[in-house]
């Protein structure tokens, strides 16, 4: 069995851009990710700097799919998939792995 390809180096926290109506600006996100990759860093999307808790699981999956469709190498992304609800965490993690992300950023269980 071959070991998995492990990401190494710097992961830049990716800020999620929003339109005035609070919908995600997917084009600006794609442009930002392309620039970050040109700086030779990996992408930490949907972490705390990315307003992850402001987005639904469906929105995050759609954005991951849009980034990959826009030419972003999923192997250079490590999305945050930890959510308050376990089924959401599982669904988002499965989507990230299906798309070929190199791993996920996972929060431990927590209580408010």
Q: What is the pLDDT of residues 8-30, one digit of tens each?
A: 789 999 999 999 999 999 999 99
Q: Is the dihedral of CA 35, 36, 41, 44 positive or negative?
A: negative
Identify which of 76, 88, 55, 109 has the alpha carbon closest to the alpha carbon of residue 99.
76
Question: pLDDT value at position 5?
Answer: 61
pLDDT above 80 for 94: yes
Over range 52-59, report the average pLDDT: 93
DSSP 102: S
Distance, CA of 33 to CA of 45 (rounded, Å)? 9
Domain definitions of the chain by residue range: 11-99
Question: pLDDT value at position 1?
Answer: 47
């Amino acid at each position: 069995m071959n070991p998995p390809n492990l990401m190494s180096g710097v992961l830049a926290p990716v800020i999620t851009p929003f339109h005035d109506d609070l919908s995600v600006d997917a084009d600006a996100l794609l442009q930002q990710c392309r620039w970050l990759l040109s700086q030779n860093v990996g992408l930490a999307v949907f972490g705390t700097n990315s307003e992850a808790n402001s987005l639904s699981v469906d929105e995050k999956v759609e954005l991951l799919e849009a980034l990959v469709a826009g030419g972003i190498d999923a192997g250079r992304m490590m999305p945050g998939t930890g959510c308050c609800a376990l089924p959401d965490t599982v669904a988002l993690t499965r989507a990230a792995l299906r798309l070929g992300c190199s791993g996920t950023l996972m929060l431990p269980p927590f209580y408010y």
